[in-house]
Homo-oligomer: A and B are copies of this chain.
Amino acid sequence: MSHECRVPVRQVHLKAGMTVGELAEQMGQAGAYNGGALYRAISIYEKMLRDPDVTKFFGLAGAMVPAGMGGIVSDLIEAGHIDVLVSTGANLTHDIIEAIGCRHYHGDAGCSDIELRHEEINRIYDVYLPNEAFIRFEEFMQGTYAGLPEGETVSISELLTHIGSRLSSGILATAAKKSVPVFCPAIQDSMIGLQYWLFSQTGHVTVDAFKDMPMLLDRCFTAKKAGAMIIGGGVPKNFILQSMLMTENGFSYAVQLTGDRPDLGGLSGATLDEARSWGKITEEASAVTVYGDATVLLPFMMAAVLERLEQ
């Protein structure tokens, strides 16, 4: 029989006070659907973080910082679990907003957006962000951009390191401190980009769209192995996965948490198996996609992985 019926599904039994890792074990023994996939994601990510030969990529898409997920990412950088970060501009914008002391707030997804507009509150699903945060953001960004080397050419990651080095907490600050490069190919597509446009009306610094590529590709060529943890899809997912295409190798580990779905054809919801056909991940790669909301999946996965790493 080629399809073995060997490992039985075990019914889940819970107990009060169990750790996240213990709960994950229960879900792994049940082993089905996205609960089972989440368990496999935990196992793959643990293995990837323990493997000393792996260059560890992390992709961050979706409005994760406004939802409080930025803390997990900066802690991962601090702990040395991220070697290369690829992010959307929006997550970095909201990271700066928190780092300069502004806050996002618990809100209501069912409210009147026209009323919110009158009250100068911006909505991100059920998170509110007062407009005044952008006033302070503008001040900070213009001051920061003013410190760029007039007349010179910088890469996007250099621009982000410049910003991070002037902050004391959050993703950009920690990445700057730990010398972890942050790539953000679509930097223009964010408030960071709009502020840069404002600055560029008087300042004269060139941000070279491709200047980061040699450094990124060098890392890919020199990596013994590569691993990717991908939150959401979008530019970060594709930019990470395509980066190994130029080398002879692909990713050996890959985990994706996404709320998208495969049948629409877009890369964000594509299975990681599809990536094998392209050679983006290797034939033997340990890879799994967990479908769902990263505000549930990411904290769960990371708490379980941290518990395992301490054992």
Partner of A273, one of B31, B33, B110, B279: B110
With A17-B19, A68-B32, A307-B17 as known contacts, state yes or no: A105 contacts B299, CB within 8 Å: no
**A72 interface residue, CB < 8 Å from B?**
yes
**A261 interface residue, CB < 8 Å from B?**
yes
Query: A114 to chain B: closest CB distance in Å?
Result: 5
Partner of A123, one of B26, B277, B295, B302: B277
> Whole-angstrom distance between the alpha carbons of A17 and B126 in the complex?
30
Tell me whether B188 and A217 are in contact (CB under 8 A).
Answer: no
**A164 interface residue, CB < 8 Å from B?**
no
Query: A214 to chain B: closest CB distance in Å?
Result: 7
* 11 A-B pairs with C-beta separation under 8 A: A5-B121, A9-B66, A18-B19, A23-B303, A30-B68, A31-B68, A34-B263, A186-B186, A189-B239, A194-B245, A261-B261
What string of 1s and 0s marks CB contacts (under 8 Å) between A19-45 and chain B? 111010011011111111110000000
Residues on B with beta carbons closer than 8 Å to the beta carbon of A26:
299
Most buried by B among A12, A292, A295, A310: A295
Tell me whether A117 and B9 are in contact (CB under 8 A).
Answer: no
With A200-B213, A208-B209 as known contacts, state yes or no: A67 contacts B32, CB within 8 Å: yes
Partner of A33, one of B116, B190, B214, B295: B295
> Whole-angstrom distance between the alpha carbons of A210 and B304 in the complex?
42
Partner of A293, one of B30, B35, B279: B35
Residues on B with beta carbons closer than 8 Å to the beta carbon of A189:
185-186, 235, 238-239, 242
> Whole-angstrom distance between the alpha carbons of A208 and B276 in the complex?
33
**A151 interface residue, CB < 8 Å from B?**
no
**A227 interface residue, CB < 8 Å from B?**
no
With A123-B277, A283-B117 as known contacts, state yes or no: A105 contacts B9, CB within 8 Å: yes
> How many copies of this chain sit in the oligomeric assembly?
4
Partner of A279, one of B117, B124, B245: B117
- Write the chain B residue with the least CB distance to A15: B306
**A48 interface residue, CB < 8 Å from B?**
no
**A166 interface residue, CB < 8 Å from B?**
no
**A274 interface residue, CB < 8 Å from B?**
yes
Partner of A62, one of B66, B264, B273: B264
Docked complex: A33-89 residues within 8 A CB-CB of B: 33-38, 61-63, 65-72, 74-75
Tell me whether B6 and A239 are in contact (CB under 8 A).
Answer: no
> Whole-angstrom distance between the alpha carbons of A235 and B245 in the complex?
22
Residues on B with beta carbons closer than 8 Å to the beta carbon of A278:
117, 122-123
- Write the chain B residue with the least CB distance to A183: B188
Query: A150 to chain B: closest CB distance in Å?
Result: 15
Residues on B with beta carbons closer than 8 Å to the beta carbon of A217:
197
> Whole-angstrom distance between the alpha carbons of A198 and B247 in the complex?
12
Residues on B with beta carbons closer than 8 Å to the beta carbon of A9:
66-68, 103-106, 127
Most buried by B among A23, A267, A293, A302: A293
**A11 interface residue, CB < 8 Å from B?**
yes
